[in-house]
Chains A and B, each alone.
Chain A
Amino acid sequence: GAVVSQHPSWVICKSGTSVKIECRSLDFQATTMFWYRQFPKQSLMLMATSNEGSKATYEQGVEKDKFLINHASLTLSTLTVTSAHPEDSSFYICSARESSLETQYFGPGTRLLVL
Chain B
Amino acid sequence: AQSVTQLDSHVSVSEGTPVLLRCNYSSSYSPSLFWYVQHPNKGLQLLLKYTSAATLVKGINGFEAEFKKSETSFHLTKPSAHMSDAAEYFCVVNTGFQKLVFGTGTRLLVSP
Contacts and interface: CB of A to CB of B under 8 A. Distances in A.
B104 A46 contact: no
A43 B99 contact: no
Contact of B100 (A1, A6, A42, A46): A46
Contact of A109 (B36, B41, B94): B41
Interface in A1-40: 1, 4, 6, 32, 34
Interface stretch (B16-24, B42-50, B63-71, B74-82): B42-50
Interface string A82-115: 0000000000010101000011111111010000
B98 A93 contact: no
A109 B43 contact: yes
Interface of B: 32, 34, 36, 41-46, 49, 51, 90, 94, 98-105
A111 B41 contact: yes
Interface centre among A32, A49, A102, by most B CB within 10 Å? A102
Contacts of A72: none
A44 interface: yes
Nearest to A4: B43
B49 A103 contact: yes
Nearest to A59: B99
- Classify the secondary structure of A's interface with B: strand
B108 to A, nearest CB: 14
Given A43-B90, A102-B51, A49 B98 contact: yes
B43 A107 contact: yes
8 contacts: A6-B43, A43-B105, A44-B90, A102-B49, A103-B46, A106-B46, A108-B43, A109-B43
Interface residues of A, number: 23
Given A42-B105, A43-B105, A102-B51, 8 more contacts: A1-B46, A42-B104, A43-B102, A102-B32, A105-B46, A106-B44, A107-B43, A111-B41
A32 B101 CA distance: 16
A109 B49 CA distance: 22
Interface string A36-62: 000000111110010000000000000
